[in-house]
Copies of this chain bind each other. A is one copy, B any other.
Amino acid sequence: MNPAIALAHWGRVGALALGALLFIGSHAQAQTDPLPSWNEGPAKQAIVSFVKETTDQASAKFVPQPERIATFDQDGTLWVEHPMYSQVMYCLERVPAVVKAKPELAHVEPFKTVLSGDRAAMAKLSMKDLEEILAVTLTGISVDQFQAEVKQWLAEAKDPRWHKPFTELTYQPMQEVLAYLRANGYKTYIVTGGGQDFVRVYSEATYGIPPEQVVGTAGGTKYEHDKDGKPFLIKEPKLLLNDNDAGKPEGIHLMIGRRPIAAFGNSTGDKQMLEYTKAGPGARLAMLVLHDDKAREYAYGPAQGLPDTKVGTFTQALYDQAKAQGWVVISMKDDWRRIFAFDP
């Protein structure tokens, strides 16, 4: 082969190889679906369109990176909340340790009922009883001690239905949304009615969300010194922020100081956060997870004609507001190809 023909030959092979690479490249790209656990449909489409229009510089709805704030409720939105919020389970299971330290509580309600282990009686505890249990089990210890105890509990506690640690019962489709948003310059926050200090213990390992990006129901702490003069913070029974309902936008302002442009929830406690998010200018995304999958997870709430369980209430009024205001309702049954990472 003379050099010119050789060059032409290699040029052709090169072009073919390049073409093949480009083909494989575009093929691989087409296959890299950022939301593989979502079925095709309006919910998935709403997320993808929103991310595209807010991150494309040529789009009229482009949002500069620092303003890309997305907030997520946790219980029922990012992980399972039935039959009981895991933090409430933590508090109930901590009662014996608290009573050991304060034996006078053993014969006082509601602690007596909790110690009896009588599940039927425990299910009847009032909101006020629960608040009393939360106050006693979540305060009076140092921040460091609390973190260590929650960490240990999470390592051992199991959900009653799947017999798995709670941190494995996160919704895989929502984990994908978190990762997809972050890959597109979004800062993702948890905005939970649950305890801020509780969720911060596992948020980074479980969701890739650092403690400083967790807004939750928060109590005060008090700065003190131990007998060796070493300073520490003790958790006080003083409520600073009830991060539910109107407390969610109020908490977002306190802790973030910017209005989110995307918000995700699943109950009436998230209503104001979604309203507030949607009321800002430009592109906005508001989504609600509807628990309508009894086989793979749970189905509950008045929006489905089921009794109100008091946990993650999705009322008919909330459903109607979502439809009227352009919030997207996510059907777990129809929109999610799988629920958990361990699902096939």
Seen from chain A, the residues whose Cβ lies within 8 Å of a Cβ on chain B are 66, 69, 143, 187, 196-197, 200, 204, 210-212, 214, 218, 220-223, 230-233, 240-241, 246, 249-250, 253-258, 272, 275-276, 279
Contact A211 B257 (CB under 8 A): yes
10 contacts between A and B (CB under 8 A): A197-B257, A211-B256, A212-B257, A212-B258, A218-B254, A220-B250, A223-B246, A223-B249, A231-B249, A231-B279
Please give me the residue from chain B that is nearest to A277 by CB atom: B231
Contact B197 A222 (CB under 8 A): no
Stoichiometry, as copies per complex, reads 2
A197 to B160 CA separation, bound complex (whole angstroms): 44
Please give me the residue from chain B that is nearest to A251 by CB atom: B221
A254 to B239 CA separation, bound complex (whole angstroms): 12
Listed residue (A69, A220, A254, A256) with the most chain B CB atoms within 10 angstroms of its CB = A254
**A231 to chain B: which residues have CB within 8 Å?**
249, 272, 275-276, 279
Please give me the residue from chain B that is nearest to A247 by CB atom: B223
**A211 to chain B: which residues have CB within 8 Å?**
256-258
Contact B254 A221 (CB under 8 A): yes
**A69 to chain B: which residues have CB within 8 Å?**
212
Contact B214 A257 (CB under 8 A): yes
Question: Contacts A197-B257, A221-B254, A223-B272 given; 15 further ones with Cβ under 8 A?
Answer: A66-B204, A187-B212, A196-B257, A212-B255, A214-B257, A218-B254, A220-B250, A220-B254, A221-B250, A222-B250, A231-B249, A231-B272, A231-B275, A240-B240, A255-B255
**A272 to chain B: which residues have CB within 8 Å?**
223, 231
Partner of A240, one of B66, B254, B258: B254
Those 9 A-B pairs whose CB atoms lie nearest each other, nearest first: A211-B257, A223-B246, A212-B256, A200-B257, A223-B249, A221-B250, A231-B275, A231-B279, A231-B276
Please give me the residue from chain B that is nearest to A219 by CB atom: B254
Contact A223 B250 (CB under 8 A): yes
Contact A253 B143 (CB under 8 A): yes
Partner of A221, one of B196, B240, B253, B256: B253
A233 to B218 CA separation, bound complex (whole angstroms): 19
**A143 to chain B: which residues have CB within 8 Å?**
253
Contact B66 A210 (CB under 8 A): yes
A9 to B258 CA separation, bound complex (whole angstroms): 63
**A254 to chain B: which residues have CB within 8 Å?**
196, 218, 220-221, 240
**A246 to chain B: which residues have CB within 8 Å?**
222-223
A82 to B137 CA separation, bound complex (whole angstroms): 46
A272 to B220 CA separation, bound complex (whole angstroms): 16
A279 to B226 CA separation, bound complex (whole angstroms): 12
**A200 to chain B: which residues have CB within 8 Å?**
257
A196 CB, min distance to chain B CBs, angstroms: 7
Contact B253 A233 (CB under 8 A): yes
